[in-house]
Structure 1
Amino acid sequence: MTMPNVRVLLATHNGASWLNEQLRSIVQQQGVRVFVVASDDSSTDGTPQLLAQWEKQKSLSMMPTAGTRFGNAHRNFLRLIRDAELSDAEYFALSDQDDIWLPGKLARGIECLRSHAAHGYSSNVTAFWPDGTQLLIDKAQPQRRFDHLFGSPGPGCTFVLPRGVFEDLRAFVTQNFERIQSIWVHDWLIYAFVRCRGGRWHIDDRPCMLYRQHGRNEIGVNAGWKAALNRLNHVRSGAYRRDILAIADSVGESAEVVEAVRRLRLRDRLHLTLGVRQFRRRLWDGLVLALFFLVMPRA
């Protein structure tokens, strides 16, 4: 049988310390034909030179320099989704610059998409730290009716999408490119896009990737008191509510829960708090979200 053709969209910024290890784990994927398209966000640490070396090996193509900084991975991935050459790829995956993919990651994702007739795939990951500590990040709880409006199903670097879904996503990003620049993370936006259009999403309980944690992660593992404090500050600043509304508005979700978040009167806060089991896959996350609804500012 012909191996599936997968195009991996790689966003980089000053990732030279880890990039070779990441790229080796991508090009050595088993059971697929893989090609990488990279977009670099004005790196100054030798990342463009490393990408150029891989380009000479015919394993990768670099997109032209944008001229101005994107400033975060979200905008860089939006650029990749909108502008990357699709070629004859049957599936599309997203990649950060600093992880390690296990050899069967992409083949596993494609297998799950096919066997579950799914329109999107993500998976658990194994986080690891420089001291050798490892931690399973479990995102594979049963999905809820509105969980796509309140967060991602896992890191975007685990996502795999069939070509038809990706082409629809590409058209959506192109049409709304300026409007969605300010949203916090691309993975949450992609998940909401697929789910709001009636797509089936599969969250795999098998971790197929080592998720590197270091001092320069833009978004890392949400664990520990510092991460909890950062999340609380994000909510109290109003940024989390703005993201919920921006994503819902951009993907065309008009459910009453969205209007309740928009109004956020006392009655709405109570209604949202009582409904958290529809919004989060895990009980603990639902309880935390209930607290967020109580402290979330209206402005």
Structure 2
Amino acid sequence: MATQPDIRIVMATYNGEPWLAEQLESLFSQNEGRWKLVVRDDGSTDATVKILQRWQEKYPERITWYADNRRLGPARSFSELMVANQSADYLFFCDQDDVWTADKLERGLAALREMEQRFGAETPLLVHHDLTVCDRSLIPIADSFLKFQALDPAKNGLSRLLLQNVVTGCTTGINRALARKAGAVPESAIMHDWWLALVATSFGQIRCLRDPGLIRYRIHGGNTCGTAERALSWSHIRRRLTQKGGPGLQALLRPYYRQAQVFLERFRGELSLQQTELVQAFIALPRKSWLARRWTILRYGFWKQEWIRNIAWLLRA
């Protein structure tokens, strides 16, 4: 008899009182029911902890949650959850304010298992998918987040991911090999999903499911990440091309270079020579002359996802 897979959903909560119960209801409505939920609360001051306590009392064998006095933020909270649950066969990341459709976990798990059959269970693997963008009342704003943000998930090579992430954390599932390879997410990493994408593209495989209906992604103004602005709207284009004042582009890019630097330091002995050269070239961009920066961008393919971003990138780099 085949053993049951160890599937864990990890969730970081912070002041999620308005949304949390609805998300939990959607988890317990999943077609795939062989999962356990592990939650870390990041110091909520509303009724989030009471909601977690109530649900854990109802489902003690399915829900584990904990809180401590540290305020870590979402990236480090999810990092801690990932490291603590590295023994699981599969990990799925869950935000407190979205709603999963009934087949979301089933589809993600099937994709990961198919990839393991093809590439081997010891290969770091990541699955993510499109989603439906909704307002705070879950009324759809856009049927496809990828189209809304003009993202092509097939452009997921290392040169692209150093400059722009295409993996949305709440849609992500990973296997044990990727959890162990990624390890603790460094403080210099911008977000946990970006770090996982960099590791997966360098040492394993990434697959995107194009179905946007698997999550209703709630934009309510308090999201850690997320925007309600369409990427190719006229207001977006005008702002990109005429933006003045504020920090310069190089100041905005410093977190990207720091993330690349810590990625190189973590995996220097494991990256290929070509990968090492590419990451080093990216890190060196701000030290190059105007002309040399553009030559490096062209040579290594440090491109963003759509034409207006790339025009702004070339003009301002």
Residue 60 (structure 1) aligned with residue 73 (structure 2): no
How many Å apart are 1:165 and its aligned residue?
A: 1.7
Residue 114 (structure 1) aligned with residue 113 (structure 2): yes
Structure 1 residues 128-167: aligned runs within 5 Å: 128-130=134-136, 132-135=139-142, 136-138=144-146, 139-145=151-157, 146-167=159-180
Residue 258 (structure 1) aligned with residue 282 (structure 2): yes
How many Å apart are 1:158 and its aligned residue?
A: 0.6
* Distance (Å, rounded) in 2 between the aligned partners of 1:221 and 1:52: 31
* Distance (Å, rounded) in 2 between the aligned partners of 1:76 and 1:272: 35
Correspondence for 2:208 among 203, 206, 209: 203
- Conserved in 2, the CA contact under 8 Å of 1:248 and 1:254? no
Unpaired runs of 5+ residues, structure 2, are 120-124, 265-274
Residues 1:122 and 1:25: Cα distance change in structure 2 (over 3 Å)? same
Q: Secondary structure, in 3 states, of the residue corresponding to 2:276?
A: coil
* Distance (Å, rounded) in 2 between the aligned partners of 1:234 and 1:222: 22
- Tell me the residue number matched to 2:313: 292
Larger radius of gyration: 2
How many Å apart are 1:25 and its aligned residue?
A: 1.2
Residues 1:67 and 1:16: Cα distance change in structure 2 (over 3 Å)? same
Correspondence for 1:184 among 173, 185, 190: 190
* Distance (Å, rounded) in 2 between the aligned partners of 1:261 and 1:150: 12
Question: In the comparison of the two structures, how many residue pairs are matched?
Answer: 281
Cα RMSD, aligned residues only: 2.9
How many Å apart are 1:293 and its aligned residue?
A: 4.7
Unpaired runs of 5+ residues, structure 1, are none
- Tell me the residue number matched to 2:291: 267
- Conserved in 2, the CA contact under 8 Å of 1:153 and 1:203? no
How many Å apart are 1:142 and its aligned residue?
A: 2.0
Could you report, residue by residue, the CA deviation over 1:27-82 in whole angstroms, capped at 9, with x for unpaired residues? 3221341111111111011101111112212231112x331212x21122122223
Which residue identity does 1:263 align to in structure 2? R
Q: Secondary structure, in 3 states, of the residue corresponding to 2:37?
A: strand
Identity rate of aligned residues, in percent? 25
Structure 1 residues 11-90: aligned runs within 5 Å: 11-56=12-57, 57-58=59-60, 59-63=62-66, 65-70=67-72, 72-82=73-83, 84-86=84-86, 89-90=88-89
Which residue identity does 2:101 align to in structure 1? L
Residue 279 (structure 1) aligned with residue 303 (structure 2): yes
How many Å apart are 1:129 and its aligned residue?
A: 0.8
How many Å apart are 1:243 and its aligned residue?
A: 2.4
Structure 1 residues 98-113: aligned runs within 5 Å: 98-113=97-112
TM-score normalised by the chain length of structure 2: 0.78
Which residue identity does 2:105 align to in structure 1? L
* Distance (Å, rounded) in 2 between the aligned partners of 1:50 and 1:153: 32
* Distance (Å, rounded) in 1 between the aligned partners of 2:99 and 2:237: 23
Could you report, residue by residue, the CA deviation over 1:97-116 in whole angstroms, capped at 9, with x for unpaired residues? 10001111112112222334
* Distance (Å, rounded) in 1 between the aligned partners of 2:179 and 2:237: 32
- Tell me the residue number matched to 2:131: 125
- Conserved in 1, the CA contact under 8 Å of 2:219 and 2:228? no
- Conserved in 2, the CA contact under 8 Å of 1:123 and 1:205? yes
How many Å apart are 1:276 and its aligned residue?
A: 8.3
Q: Secondary structure, in 3 states, of the residue corresponding to 2:39?
A: strand
How many Å apart are 1:24 and its aligned residue?
A: 1.4
- Tell me the residue number matched to 1:95: 94
